[in-house]
Amino acid sequence: ILNVEQSPQSLHVQEGDSTNFTCSFPSSNFYALHWYRWETAKSPEALFVMTLNGDEKKKGRISATLNTKEGYSYLYIKGSQPEDSATYLCAFIEGSNYKLTFGKGTLLTVNP
Amino acid sequence: KAGVTQTPRYLIKTRGQQVTLSCSPISGHRSVSWYQQTPGQGLQFLFEYFSETQRNKGNFPGRFSGRQFSNSRSEMNVSTLELGDSALYLCASSLGQQTDTQYFGPGTRLTVL
């Protein structure tokens, strides 16, 4: 059974703060890592798909890095806004299969 | 382009009954995956279909089954419902490669009494 861990479980920050959280996954047989944002009462929304060691992706104020050798990815949010409040999920794809194994997410709350 | 749609959005059943959930993918997408979301377990993979073939299955009992039709629409069936099957069931569609983005539907909230 694959283990995808996310930390912290939850985070409260003030508007304007920058923050980051971690996704850990098995370093063997890596194929891809997906990041999603899930706002309350909405569907999960894709942020990034990362495949190469050392990958860095950016979308507005959100960016992510990937280290496949040590099995972790960081998600960074610069200058958090209340609308960034959501659960951030990472999902790992192993080898030749087609299933996403999700972590339990980091719940981010940005206070105005 | 229309998004992923799921029907019904809410469902209440009693133990022992069976239920069928439906998912219509984004036009042109051939892969449909199903997930169960519960507060304690997070999002758990049920199965994935591509061009009417199941390519992967998660660790769920045989009471959970699915199928995909030639138009890529997919159904999921749960037989002999148990209280623990109460959950949000999400489907996601994609073009079908492992690095393709999966687009999620709004989910079906199933309550088993």
Q: Provide DSSP, A1-45.
A: ----EEE-SEEEEETT--EEEEEE--STTEEEEEEEEE-TTS--E
Task: Check if A101 contacts B (Cβ < 8 Å).
Answer: yes
B1 CA to chain A: closest CA distance, Å? Answer: 16
- Determine whether the interchain pair B102/A46 forms a contact, defined as Cβ–Cβ distance below 8 Å: yes
Using CA coordinates, name the residue in chain A closest to B102: A46
Specify the higher pLDDT residue, B97 or A80.
A80
Q: pLDDT, tens digit, for every residue of B25-72?
A: 999 999 999 999 998 888 999 999 999 999 999 999 999 999 999 999
Confidence (pLDDT) at B1: 65
Apex B83 CA angle, B82 and B89, nearest 5? 85
**A23-50: average pLDDT:** 94
Q: What is the percent of chain B where pLDDT is above 70?
A: 99
- Determine whether the interchain pair A46/B43 forms a contact, defined as Cβ–Cβ distance below 8 Å: no
- Determine whether the interchain pair B55/A49 forms a contact, defined as Cβ–Cβ distance below 8 Å: no
Task: Check if A1 contacts B (Cβ < 8 Å).
Answer: yes
Task: Identify which of A96, A107, A111 has the alpha carbon closest to the alpha carbon of residue A13.
Answer: A111
Confidence (pLDDT) at B39: 82
CA distance A24 to A70: 9
Confidence (pLDDT) at A29: 87
